[in-house]
Amino acid sequence: MYHKCLNIITKKWLSCFMLLMLIITCVNYWGLGAGILWDVAHGLGYAAFICLLYTCFSKPAKLNISSHRSLAYMALLFTSLHVLVLLITDPITIEYLMPNAPLYMWLGSFSTILMVCIIVSSLTRFKHVFYNNSTSFKKVHRIMSWLIIAGSLYHIVDSGFYIYQQWQIIAIVLVAILSLWSIPIKRLALINSYQVTIQLMTFMAIFIGFWSWPI
């Protein structure tokens, strides 16, 4: 009964969090998207950012490590798809990977590279190569995760796509800070990756539908 109650609380918390992200990204001027594929690409980007924040909720405790890793893999997958769809549908995007790219694009690329590094260095077979003990691992892992979220957040805000009004910027910054804060959700229950996947698909469907809807 105890664990059942914890699972219910966790599900409600995550649902409220997802609803908040929908409000931040969609409650704006109707129909300002730049085409369905553009909206799909950025929906994938926001899904990746949500996964990053969810990894903060799923503290990698002994019983929660599988959930934490799954969310990290999902974040990397969505990030890769975000970049791939943009490159395929809008080849000029390659210019944003050049040395003269704006800072927000550099930070987006930096966060992606750092995401790969943090995942690889966290694998059991490689962990001993990068870290001497669990204390150094936790410290470096935490700092790297903060840098990834901070870089991704700057990438989202400074790009000015979909989120550019002051209240949206303040709201998404506060959401990121809330995720980094050691909130009780970490001690409640395991985050079900299957449930998160459904929530992310729902988020993307609503996001794409909202921005692609004709004026």
Q: Is it the case that residue 80 has pLDDT exceeding 70?
A: yes
> What's the pLDDT score for residue 160?
82
Q: How far is the C-alpha of 171 from the C-alpha of 159, rounded, in Å?
A: 16
Which CATH number do you get for residue 149?
Answer: 1.20.120
- Whether residue 187 is contained in a domain is answered as yes
Structural domain boundaries, residue 181? 11-212
pLDDT band at 139 (very low <50, low <70, confident <90, very high): confident
> What's the pLDDT score for residue 71?
87
The domain total for the chain is 1
Long-range contacts of 173-180 (CB under 8 A, 24+ apart): 175/17, 175/20, 175/21, 175/24, 175/53, 176/53, 176/149, 176/150, 179/53, 179/54, 179/56, 179/57, 179/149, 180/56, 180/146, 180/149
The 8-class DSSP code of residue 64 comes to T
- Whether residue 3 is contained in a domain is answered as no
- Whether residue 1 is contained in a domain is answered as no
- Whether residue 166 is contained in a domain is answered as yes
Mean pLDDT of the chain: 81
Half-sphere exposure of 189 (CA within 13 A, CB side): 17
> What's the pLDDT score for residue 172?
92
Q: How far is the C-alpha of 186 from the C-alpha of 10, rounded, in Å?
A: 9
Least confident of 84-98, 140-154, 174-188: 174-188
- Whether residue 167 is contained in a domain is answered as yes
Q: Is it the case that residue 181 has pLDDT exceeding 80?
A: no
Q: Is it the case that residue 153 has pLDDT exceeding 60?
A: yes
Instruction: Give the residue-averaged pLDDT of 20-25.
Output: 87
Least confident of 38-47, 128-137, 200-209: 128-137
pLDDT band at 3 (very low <50, low <70, confident <90, very high): low
- Whether residue 4 is contained in a domain is answered as no
Higher pLDDT, 58 or 23: 23
18 token code pair: 């997802």
- Whether residue 124 is contained in a domain is answered as yes
- Whether residue 6 is contained in a domain is answered as no
> What's the pLDDT score for residue 60?
53
pLDDT band at 151 (very low <50, low <70, confident <90, very high): very high
